[in-house]
Structure 1
Amino acid sequence: MKNIIDSELAKLIFKDLSKYKLTLGFLLLNVIFAITVVHWAQLNRQMVIQQDVLLQQRDDIDLRWRHLLLEQRSLAEHSRVESIARNRLGMKRPTTDEEVVVTLP
């Protein structure tokens, strides 16, 4: 008895489904579009997060570059170079008697 009721119920369900094919098709399209929208929204979020990470890395690199430029300028100052030449290397400015002029023939 239960098998007969189940088979009749299945027949009624398939009959109704065939009767409303267009509605069922629209429902299926709606579900597909909803899944597609969710997928693209997730991809968009991931790309925005990746962009933020890259922008932060760019800012960090830019800051390090500025610090390196400041360090280079401070190390290349004339007074510092002259002080190292005198103290560490024992160099001194030549006098006019010690100067030698070289000319090319």
Structure 2
Amino acid sequence: MPKKIRQPHLAIEVLRDLGKRKLTLGLLFLNVLVAIAIVQTSHLSRQQIIQQDSLLREKDNLDLEWRKLLLEQRALAEHSRVMHLAEKKLNMHWPSADEEVVVRLP
């Protein structure tokens, strides 16, 4: 009877070969982890830059609105406008010399 040639089992041979190359596999695994970390960090960095740009636009809009409100406040507080409104809406006027009353404190 002819002698049977034994074929090695492929999975076992692959595992044996991987066992011999532990350092190479470790470095490969480490490279994959570093690549994933770089992608994640880049993604988070881009998100923060987008958020920063959005906040800067909002700051500019609020600054512009604040300047408009300051101008409006100055216009509303202008002396001639206040005098005109006091005369027209509240029927106020400057007192004459006869209407003035001087109060003296003891």
TM over 0.5: yes
> 1:25 & 1:81 partners in 2: Cα distance?
81
The percent of aligned pairs where both chains have the same amino acid is: 55
> 1:11 & 1:86 partners in 2: Cα distance?
103
Match of 2:50 in 1: 49
Is 1:95 the equivalent of 2:96?
yes
* Structure 1 segments of 4+ aligned residues over 6 angstroms from their partners: none
Match of 1:30 in 2: 31
Deviation at 1:91, TM superposition (A): 1.5
Tell me the number of residue pairs that the alignment of Structure 1 and Structure 2 aligns: 101
> 2:78 & 2:9 partners in 1: Cα distance?
97
Is 1:21 the equivalent of 2:22?
yes
TM-score of the superposition, structure 2-length normalised? 0.88
What amino acid does structure 1 have at the position aligned with 2:27? F
Other structure's SS at 2:9 match: helix
What amino acid does structure 2 have at the position aligned with 1:77? E
TM-score of the superposition, structure 1-length normalised? 0.88
What amino acid does structure 2 have at the position aligned with 1:20? R
> Which whole-Å deviations, capped at 9, do the CAs of 1:4-37 have from their partners, x for residues lacking one?
96x7111111121011111111000000100011
Match of 2:85 in 1: 84
Match of 1:69 in 2: 70
CA RMSD of superposed structures (Å): 1.5
Match of 2:11 in 1: 10
> Which whole-Å deviations, capped at 9, do the CAs of 1:34-90 have from their partners, x for residues lacking one?
001111111111111111111111111111111111111100000000111111111
Other structure's SS at 1:100 match: coil
Other structure's SS at 1:103 match: coil
What amino acid does structure 2 have at the position aligned with 1:84? L
> 2:92 & 2:15 partners in 1: Cα distance?
103
| Long gaps (5+) in structure 2 | 1-5
Other structure's SS at 1:98 match: coil
Q: Per residue, is there more helix in 1 or in 2?
A: 1
Greater mean alpha carbon deviation, residues 51-60 or residues 29-38: 51-60
